[in-house]
Amino acid sequence: MYGFLGPNGAGKTTTLRLLLGLLQLQGGEVRLFNKSLAKSRIELLRKTGSLIESPSFYSNLTAAENLLVFQKVYGCPKARIQESLELVGLGKTGNKPAGNFSLGMKQRLSIATALLHQPSLLILDEPTNGLDPNGIIEIRELLRRLNREQGMTILISSHLLAEIERLVTHIGIINKGSLLFQGTLEQLQRKQSQGSVTSWHTNEPGRAMGIFRSYAILPTLVDDQVLIPTAERELIATLNEQLVLNKIEVYQISPVKNDLESIFIDLVKST
C-alpha cells in the first residue's frame, strides 16, 4: 500500500489523473504493470480501479443501477454488483436514488465502483473525505482487507500523514509538483530518528556552544536556544553537569518535536 502525500495543491490529483490517462502528458511516459499506458491503455485500465477527488455517480440512479452502468463496460459478472455494495456497507439501499445519499454514502458508492471489477491496482484520491470517524475506520479496515486477502495494490493519496501512516507500507511525499521523498515507512522513520534534536535554553548560549564543541558535538543556535543532535541520556547528564560547573544557568532541556508529521511538514516547507 502506497501513501501519496502532499499538501493541498501539491500535484497529487494531477499525478493520479496522469496515471489514469485523464490528462495529456507534456513529456515522459506513464508505465503501469511495466507497460506503457499510451500503448496499452485499455488493458491497463481493465486492471485498475479509481476514485479521483469528489465522488462521481449518476444521481438519478440507485446504487445498484450505478454499478450496472459500469458492469456493462467492464464485462464483469453481475453478482459483483451486490458483492461490491455489501463490501462498502451499501447492500441495503434499495430504490433510493444515489442523489439522496449522504456524503459518506456517496463516497462509499464511488469506492464500490472502483472495486467492482476486482482490480489489481486501486487508485484512491483522498477516499475518506466526507466520512465520519466510524466511516474512516471502516474504509481503512476494508482497504487493509483488500490488500491482505486479495493482494490488491493500493495507491492512496492524502494531505494528512496521520491519516494513512498506520495503513501504508510505502510513502511518497510531493510538493509543488516535485517528489521530495519516496521509500518505505521504515526509511521515513529512520529519517525521523536521524533528524531529532535536543534544545538547550541557557543564560549564556555562546559559552554553552563552546562546551558542546569540546565534546565533539556540533551545536546550532536558533532563537537564543542551542540545538544539538539527540544524544544518549548519560551524555546529556554530563553536558548539563559541565554547564552548571561552568556557572551557566540551564533553564530547560527539551527534545524538539520530530515525529513523522513534523518531517512531512519540514520536507514540504523546504521546497
Partner 1 sequence: MNFLYSLQSEWLKTKRSTASWLCLIGGAFIPLIFLAGFIKDQRSINAYTSPDIWKKYFFQIWQFMSLAILPIGVVLASTLITQVEYKNNTWKQLHATPQRFSVIFMAKLGIILLMTLKFFLYFNIGILLSAVIPSLLFDHRFPRQAIPVAFFLAENGKLFITCLPVIALQYLVSLQSRNFLVPIGVGIMGLVGSLILIQTWQYAYLSPYSYTPLQIVGGKAIREKINIPLLSVSYFAGITLLCYYLYMNKKEKG
Residues that bind partner 1 (CB under 8 A): 17, 20-24, 41-43, 45-46, 48, 50, 52-61, 65, 68-70, 72-75, 97, 110, 113
Tell me how far CA of residue 225 lies from CA of 85, 133, 163, 218, 256, in angstroms.
57, 40, 33, 14, 11
- State in angstroms the smallest separation of the CB of 23 from partner 1: 6
- Residue 74 or 181 having the CB closest to partner 1: 74
154-182 as b/e, with b when 16 or more CB fall inside 10 Å?
bbbbbbebebbbebbebbbbbbeeeebbe
Strand extents, DSSP E, 90-138? 121-125
Rg, the chain, Cα only: 25
- State in angstroms the smallest separation of the CB of 98 from partner 1: 9
- State in angstroms the smallest separation of the CB of 39 from partner 1: 14
- Residue 113 or 175 having the CB closest to partner 1: 113
Helix (H, G, I), strand (E, B) or coil at 65: helix
The residues that bridge with 227 in the sheet, in sequence order, are 199, 220
Evaluate whether 77 touches 52 at the Cβ level (below 8 Å): no
Counting beta carbons within 10 angstroms of the beta carbon of residue 146, is it exposed (0 to 12), middle (13 to 18) or buried (19 or more)?
A: buried
- State in angstroms the smallest separation of the CB of 3 from partner 1: 21
Query: What size, in residues, is the chain?
Result: 271
Show the CA angle centred on residue 68, arms to residues 13 and 54, nearest 5°.
Answer: 20
Q: CA–CA separation, 195 vs 240, rounded Å? A: 22
**Of 5, 3, 1, 2, whose CA–CA distance to 263 is shortest?**
5
- Residue 41 or 201 having the CB closest to partner 1: 41
- State in angstroms the smallest separation of the CB of 48 from partner 1: 7
- Residue 41 or 191 having the CB closest to partner 1: 41
- Residue 59 or 271 having the CB closest to partner 1: 59
- Residue 40 or 242 having the CB closest to partner 1: 40
- State in angstroms the smallest separation of the CB of 173 from partner 1: 24
- Residue 46 or 191 having the CB closest to partner 1: 46
Whose grid coordinates read 464483469? 76
- State in angstroms the smallest separation of the CB of 150 from partner 1: 19
